[in-house]
Amino acid sequence: MRVVVVNVNTTGSVTEAIAASARAVAAPGTEIVGLTPRFGAESVEGNLESYLAAVGVADAVARYAASGERFDAVIQAGYGEHGREGLQEMLDVPVVDITEAAATTAMYLGHRYSVVTTLDRTVPLISDRLLLAGLDRRCASVRASGLAVLELEQDPDRAVAAIVEQARVAVEQDHAEVICLGCGGMAGLDATVRAETGVPVVDGVQAAVTVAESLVRLGLTTSTSRTYAAPRTKKITGFPLEMS
């Protein structure tokens, strides 16, 4: 099967890292295709950027689909971002958000989980998405490492140290029993964080790959009975995006 993994920012190197991480757990026979939006911010760290990302991601997927390529599932690889519901309406294949994939995976592993993310300003976005997804009650905390998305790439050692510190506080003070790495760009850091904290660490992208594969294997896709029915036929202006 082919699983499309869409980055939420416009930075190609992040897409590559995400796709590599996805490939590392993909089942034999699963092809991972990474997409980078043409539209939006180089990193997504707030609501305005996240709304741009929602449209940038939808545009990237719509263009990929229009190119005649076939695919079996889509992963939205942004943590705490807007947009997943729109993709569900647009596509007839399953859509998996990494925030939710990390949470449902973590809930099989411990009584409560925490998320460690990047900047403090993104904490409420993640909390809001978990609330909407109905996956918040066993969330012990969402904690910020204080590092920006692009700093994760630039200084991985510092990133790990900051993430481990918050993960430890989550375990010791918030009684988290599992840690979710709360940023698509944290791919590959899970082993270190686990070694340092002693609790299971969930990478959202990798969790999402297994969820997407599972849905495909079960022959299940998004319900079209109500919320995620295909958009009604009507006049749309400017989408897919007209970009030079």
What residues from 195 to 234 belong to the interface with a second copy (CB under 8 A)? 198-200, 202, 206-207, 210-211, 213-215, 217-218, 220-223, 225-229, 231-232, 234
Closer to a second copy at the Cβ: 34 or 37?
37
Query: Residue 4 is inside which H or E element, if any?
Result: strand 2-6
Binding string, residues 84-123; x marks residues near a second copy by CB under 8 A: -xxxxxx---xxx---x---xx-xxxxxx-------xx-x
How far apart, in whole angstroms, are the C-alpha atoms of residue 125 and residue 144? 12
Window 18 to 57, contacts with a second copy (CB under 8 A): 25, 27, 38-43, 45-52, 54-56
Shortest CB 47 distance to a second copy, Å:
4
Closer to a second copy at the Cβ: 16 or 121?
121
Residue 151 interacts with a second copy (CB under 8 A): yes or no: no
Backbone angles phi, psi at 97, to 5 degrees: -95, 135
Identified binder of a second copy from the candidate list 69, 124, 173, 195, rule CB under 8 A: 124
Closer to a second copy at the Cβ: 25 or 161?
25
Query: Count of CB atoms within 10 A of residue 29's CB?
Result: 8
Closer to a second copy at the Cβ: 58 or 162?
58
Q: Is the dihedral of CA 181, 192, 212, 134 positive or negative?
A: negative
Shortest CB 153 distance to a second copy, Å:
14
Shortest CB 33 distance to a second copy, Å:
20
First to last CA, the chain: 33
Shortest CB 205 distance to a second copy, Å:
11
Closer to a second copy at the Cβ: 16 or 220?
220
Query: What residues form DSSP beta bridges with 95?
Result: 74
Query: What residues form DSSP beta bridges with 96?
Result: 75
Shortest CB 55 distance to a second copy, Å:
5
Where are any strands of DSSP class E within 57-214?
73-76, 95-97, 113-117, 139-144, 178-181, 201-203
How far apart, in whole angstroms, are the C-alpha atoms of residue 6 and residue 29? 19
Shortest CB 44 distance to a second copy, Å:
10
Window 160 to 199, contacts with a second copy (CB under 8 A): 171, 175, 177-178, 198-199
Longest Cα–Cα distance in the chain: 54
How far apart, in whole angstroms, are the C-alpha atoms of residue 35 and residue 57? 8
Residues 197/168, Cβ–Cβ less than 8 Å? yes
